[in-house]
Amino acid sequence: MAASGRPTLGIDASRALSAAPTGTEGYSYHLIHALLPLLQARYRVRLYFRTLPASGVFPNAEVRVIPFPRLWTHLRLSWEMAWRPPDLLFVPAHVLPLIRPRRTLVTIHDLGYRYFPEAHPLGQRLYLDWSTRRNARVATHILADSQATRDALVREYGIAASKITVAYPGYDSDLAPVRDPVRLAAVQARYGIPGPYILFMGRVQPRKNLARLIEAFARLASTRPNLSLVLAGPTGWLAEPIRARVHALGLEGRVLFPGYIAAADKAALLSGAQVFAYPSLYEGFGFPVLEAQACGVPLLASNTSSLPEVVGDGGLLVDPLDEVAIADGLTRLLDDEMLRRTLVALGAANLRRFSWETTAKTVSEVLAGLE
C-alpha cells in the first residue's frame, strides 16, 4: 500500500505513445486518458513508458520512464515489478511481465492467429500463442474487446468465462462527416486518388482478406471505369502477394496503396468514399468500422468474428470467404441509394453504444473488484 493510504495502480503505457498509432496503440492511449479522472481519487496511478511523454499528455499521474533496447516487458518491466511493485498492474495493450504483482488485469484483443494461422509469420504465431495463453492463465482478471474474443478464450484456452469481462472499446469521437468539397478534393489529391473510390483502411496483410476484396473489385471494374479501390494503411507481413494480385488482374492504377493515413486526413478520406469495405477474416473488435460509421460512409463488413456485434445494424454483412458475395455487396451499396441512406443512419445510431468513457467506467469497476 502506498504511503498516501491509496493503493498504487501501475499501468503499462508503453504502447500509448506512437507517431503512427494503429488499433492497440490507440486503445492504450484513449483508455488511459479516459481512466485517469476516474482513478485518481482511489489510486496513486503510475504509468510506465519506454520514452518520456510530452509534458501534460497524461496529467496527474506519476510517470516512470524505464528505457531498454529489447525485451522491454519481460526484462525491464519485470525488474521494475520486482524492485518497485505497484499494488495492482494493468496491461492494456501487450502482455504481462514475467515478474508481476499478485493482482493483475490484462486486455486480450483477439485470437486471430488461432483461426487464420497462415496470415502470420511462424515465429510471430508461436509467440502470440504462448504469450496469450500465459496471459490468460496468470492474470487475475481479463478484459476482452468483444463477446467473440471472450468466447474464443473460453473455447481455445479453457479460461473460465467468469474471469473475463467484455469491455467494448470506444472510438475517436472527433471523427465526423466532412462535406466541404475543397477539403475532400485536397485530401484525395494528396493521396493520388483520381475519382470515386471504395476504401479499405487498415494494415495491408493477409488477415484483412484484401486478395478477395481485389478479386471482388475486379468483377466491378470493367463496368465502372472511373472507380478505384483504395487500400490505405501501413504495409504488413506478406503484402507483396497482395500487390502481385493487382498486377495479375491488370488493375494497376485502379487499385491504390497510399500507405499510412495521417490522423488529420482520416475523416476526409473516409467521408469521400463511395463505400467503406472491411471484409476482414478475423477481428477482435474492428475500430475502422466504427470510424466509417462516424463519417457517414455506407459500410460493408464480414459476417464473422466480432464484426456483427460491433457493426450492429449499421452495415451490410457478407461472407468474407466468397468474393462473389463481396462483389454483390459492393454493387448493392454503390447502386441502391435507399440502402445507403438507411445503413448510414443506422450506423450513426449504432455509435451510441461505444465511448471511451463507458469503457473506462467498466475497467474502473473491474479494478475495484480486484482490491
Mark whether 238 and 365 lie in a shared domain: no
Q: Is 67 domain-assigned? A: yes
Residue 153 in contact with residue 134, Cβ under 8 Å? no
pTM: 0.93
Full residue range of the structural domain in which residue 117 is found:
8-170+355-370
What does the pLDDT read at residue 54?
84
What does the pLDDT read at residue 124?
87
Mark whether 13 and 98 lie in a shared domain: yes
Q: Quote the cell numbers at residue 21.
A: 498509432
Q: Is 176 domain-assigned? A: no
Return the number of other C-beta atoms located less than 10 Å from residue 92's C-beta.
24
Mark whether 327 and 298 lie in a shared domain: yes
Q: Is 3 domain-assigned? A: no
Mark whether 218 and 361 lie in a shared domain: no
Q: Is 229 domain-assigned? A: yes
Tens digits of residue pLDDT in 199-227: 999 999 889 999 999 999 999 999 999 99
Pairwise CA distance, residues 2 & 24, whole Å: 30
What does the pLDDT read at residue 19?
66
Residue 229 in contact with residue 214, Cβ under 8 Å? yes
Q: Is 288 domain-assigned? A: yes
Sequence-distant (6+) residues with CB within 8 A of 371 are: 7, 87, 88, 103
Q: Quote the cell numbers at residue 35.
A: 481512466
The DSSP result for 12-56, as a single string, is E-TTS--SS--HHHHHHHHHHHHHHHHHTTT-EEEEEESSPPPTT
What does the pLDDT read at residue 2?
52
Mark whether 322 and 359 lie in a shared domain: no
Mark whether 343 and 195 lie in a shared domain: yes
Q: Is 203 domain-assigned? A: yes
User: What's the number of domains the chain is made of?
Assistant: 2
Mark whether 139 and 206 lie in a shared domain: no
Find the distance separating the first CA and the last CA of the chain, reported in whole Å. Answer: 11
Beta-strand ranges (E) seen in 155-302 are 164-166, 197-201, 228-232, 255-259, 275-278, 299-302
Q: Quote the cell numbers at residue 240.
A: 507483396
Residue 38 in contact with residue 364, Cβ under 8 Å? yes
Tens digits of residue pLDDT in 259-316: 999 999 999 999 999 999 999 999 999 999 999 999 999 999 999 999 999 999 999 9
CATH of the domain at 80: 3.40.50.2000
Mark whether 257 and 366 lie in a shared domain: no
Mark whether 257 and 291 lie in a shared domain: yes
Q: Which residues of the chain have pLDDT under 70?
A: 1-4, 19-20
Please state, in angstroms and as integers, the Cα–Cα distance from residue 68 to each residue in 71, 91, 254, following that order. 8, 18, 44
Q: Is 344 domain-assigned? A: yes
Mean pLDDT of the chain: 94
Residue 109 in contact with residue 94, Cβ under 8 Å? no
Closest CA to 143 of 101, 98, 176, 96: 96
* Residue 341: CA count within 13 A, CB half-sphere: 3
